[in-house]
């Protein structure tokens, strides 16, 4: 309730900021028109908390959808190659012709991640990537986030209140309290911070 999800939705232009400026890849989000926003979004991957897969589409069709939306000239052969590449990278090549309803929660999360990666984004935004997952599946997703960040050489902003997710994935943490950037540092620096408002998250 501190504004974490609102923050990244402002970054991607899904919500308008009340004031101030937001620059993404050297462009002002607040000054972009709808077409410019769509072009920028093709360079910024967004993993929704709910996964946002299309229930009426197969896994393949879900992954092909972004390629049809962002003015990218990709031949059918190249499309199929990209679909299988990202599915292989998340360990789910065998699900290509399955429907989302046939997949577990963790598998749907991986498919949503694959769909985000298919555009080769420069930046990844994750909105609560482990919400609704059991601890073992959550740990697998955290590990995958780190591995894919290294493989695709992408920067990431991860919104989370899951301390295991933060510990496993974060190089730098910014703690939001009452809508403000209250503290920042590495996991160990914040863990050893004696401020009661910070300390309560690590107890």
Structure tokens at 184: 């920042």
Residue reference for tokens 């679909």: 83
Which of 15, 9, 39 lies closest to 27 in space, CA to CA?
Answer: 39
pTM (predicted TM-score): 0.84
**Tens-place pLDDT, residues 70-127:** 556 677 788 888 899 999 988 899 999 999 999 988 889 889 888 888 888 899 999 8
For the stretch 20-36, pLDDT in tens is: 899 999 989 989 988 88
Give, for 167, the enclosing helix (H) or strand (E).
helix 163-169
Q: Work out whether strand 123-127 and strand 44-47 pair parallel, antiparallel, or are unpaired.
A: parallel
Burial class (CB in 10 A: 0-12, 13-18, 19+), 161: middle
Cα–Cα dist 189/185, whole Å: 6
Q: Mapping DSSP to helix (H, G, I), strand (E, B) and coil, where does residue 13 land?
A: coil
Which among 64, 95, 65 has a CA at the least distance from the CA of 79?
64
């Amino acid at each position: 309730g501190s504004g974490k999800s609102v923050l990244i939705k402002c970054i991607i232009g899904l919500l308008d900021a009340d004031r101030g400026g937001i620059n993404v890849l050297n462009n002002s989000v607040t000054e972009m028109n709808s077409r410019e926003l769509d072009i920028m979004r093709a360079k910024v991957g967004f993993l929704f908390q709910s996964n946002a897969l299309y229930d009426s589409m197969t896994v393949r069709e879900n992954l092909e959808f972004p390629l049809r939306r962002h003015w990218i000239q990709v031949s059918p052969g190249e499309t199929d190659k990209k679909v299988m590449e990202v599915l292989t990278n998340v360990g789910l090549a065998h699900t290509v012709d399955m429907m989302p309803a046939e997949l577990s929660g963790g598998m749907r999360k991986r498919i949503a991640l694959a769909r985000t990666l298919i555009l080769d984004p420069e930046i990844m935004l994750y909105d609560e990537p482990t919400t609704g997952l059991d601890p073992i599946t959550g740990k697998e997703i955290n590990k995958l986030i780190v591995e894919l960040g290294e493989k695709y050489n992408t920067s990431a902003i991860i919104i989370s209140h899951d301390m295991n997710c933060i510990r496993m994935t974060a190089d730098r943490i910014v703690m939001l309290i009452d809508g403000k950037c209250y503290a920042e540092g590495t996991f160990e620096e914040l863990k050893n911070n004696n401020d009661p408002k910070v300390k309560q998250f690590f107890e």
